[in-house]
Amino acid sequence: MSAFRLLLPLLLWLLLPTRLLAEPAFYHLSKGDRQFWLLGSIHAAQASIYPLPDAIERAWAQSRALVLEVNMAAIPADEWQQVASLTRLPPGRTLANEIPPALYRRTQEAASRLGLPPASLDGLQPWFAAISLTQRALVKSPFSGEYGIDQHFANRAAQGGKPVQGLETLTEQLGYLASVAEHQDLMLAATLDELPELDTSFAAILAAWQDGDEARLIALLKEEMAPPALQQWLEQTLLARRNHDWLRRLPALPAESFVVVGALHLYGEQGLLALLEGAGWRIKPLTRPESVRAVTGSASD
């Protein structure tokens, strides 16, 4: 997200009157003498989402460091070598060997429609072929990673000399994604099903993010990842397990960090907000999302 980032009414989200009222969910976290800011990210967007609300801009100006899921600007050479071993098939194996013939044909046809040489996917693990197709489709869509929230603040940190830290390494993140292996045929098939509607579904996700609409984001997640086995993997491994890992690493972050993670990591019983509250952190919303969680301190100050 971060990687796969959230895979899957364009005019509607531009016209809805609630756009003037609701804002992306953004929180101040405090415990003892430590404080952070937490912003849920959308990993691709449009220039029209900027500027961000004043509360976010003020916090950015006060923060001392940026924390992302992965600091993509500081990947050592040896880690890139590990990336290849995670995302590519062993020598002598091809995508055609790994998936059913009908699914392979659909994959090749989708690659051709998106302007990708079909052979470019042949050496990839099926789960990474799915991500590659999604990324290519986004390149051809109205949305761009250039305007994603994480990339936006990574650029600003680089321009302003603000230090950047990752909550996990790239190989850790890809390792979580690779753990879908048992269900990667489902992941690839679901991706192929969703690609024709990607512009519309991503516009709906972006609109829900802009409104800080927790319920809508969760509903969209469940709609997009319909196969139960894939849904379970996504919720338990890609979201919940990483959230618990991040919670353990939070105390070691630089003081007054501005933390940006995929928006879906915030919500639910195993979401970061619930885990932080359970660990004794005081959580204060700083924006006016469509649905504000009932969290400690949210109604005060």
**Strand-pair partners of 39:** 26, 260
Measured distance CA(217)–CA(203) in Å, rounded: 12
The pTM of the full predicted model, rounded to 2 decimals, is 0.86
Measured distance CA(99)–CA(224) in Å, rounded: 22
Long-range contacts of 104-112 (CB under 8 A, 24+ apart): 106/189, 106/192, 107/133, 107/188, 107/192, 110/192, 110/195, 111/136
What pLDDT does 226 receive? 58
- Compute mean pLDDT per 10 residues along the chain, 301 residues long, and list them: 37 34 87 95 92 96 97 91 92 95 97 94 96 93 93 97 96 93 91 92 90 87 68 89 96 95 93 97 92 41 37
What pLDDT does 288 receive? 87
Measured distance CA(289)–CA(263) in Å, rounded: 13
Measured distance CA(290)–CA(19) in Å, rounded: 10
What pLDDT does 11 receive? 31
